Amino acid sequence: SQTIHQWPATLVQPVGSPLSLECTVEGTSNPNLYWYRQAAGRGLQLLFYSVGIGQISSEVPQNLSASRPQDRQFILSSKKLLLSDSGFYLCAWEQGTYEQYFGPGTRLTVT
């Protein structure tokens, strides 16, 4: 069966510090991968999606970036965090059926 992991679960970082969030998927090959951000009590904002290794599409201009160094690994990064980067970050995978399967999320607080 397929599983999706995200870490860390929570993170508190000062403004201006770097960020690296990791997402890995097990039990499937060549999935479509997604990074979302969710503000408190709000819906999901699509940040990046990837249809294959090294293929990243950005949905919202910002100081975040994403990479997919391996088929089942998706990384969200920033060189310098802003206060507005605080939120709940969710990774998801999907494989041609439109149904997305989400990880447990990372709660990021930028102080």
Partner 1 sequence: SQQGEEDPQALSIQEGENATMNCSYKTSINNLQWYRQNSGRGLVHLILIRSNEREKHSGRLRVTLDTSKKSSSLLITASRAADTASYFCATDAYTGGFKTIFGAGTRLFVKA
Other Cβ atoms within 10 Å of 81 Cβ, number = 21
75 binds partner 1 (CB under 8 A): no
Q: How far is the CB of 105 from partner 1 (least distance, A)?
A: 5
Q: How far is the CB of 80 from partner 1 (least distance, A)?
A: 27
13-21, 29-37, 63-71, 75-83 -> range binding partner 1 (CB under 8 A): 29-37
Q: What are the CA-CA distances from residue 110 to residues 4, 9, 82, 88 (Å)?
A: 25, 14, 7, 11
Residue from 28, 62, 73, 105 binding partner 1 (CB under 8 A) = 105
Q: Which of 35, 8, 10 is nearest to 93 (CA)?
A: 35
| Nearer to partner 1 among residue 12 and residue 51 (C-beta) | 51
How far is Cα 44 from Cα 32, in angstroms, rounded to an integer? 17
Residue from 67, 73, 94, 95 binding partner 1 (CB under 8 A) = 94
What residue type is 85 in one-letter code?
A: D
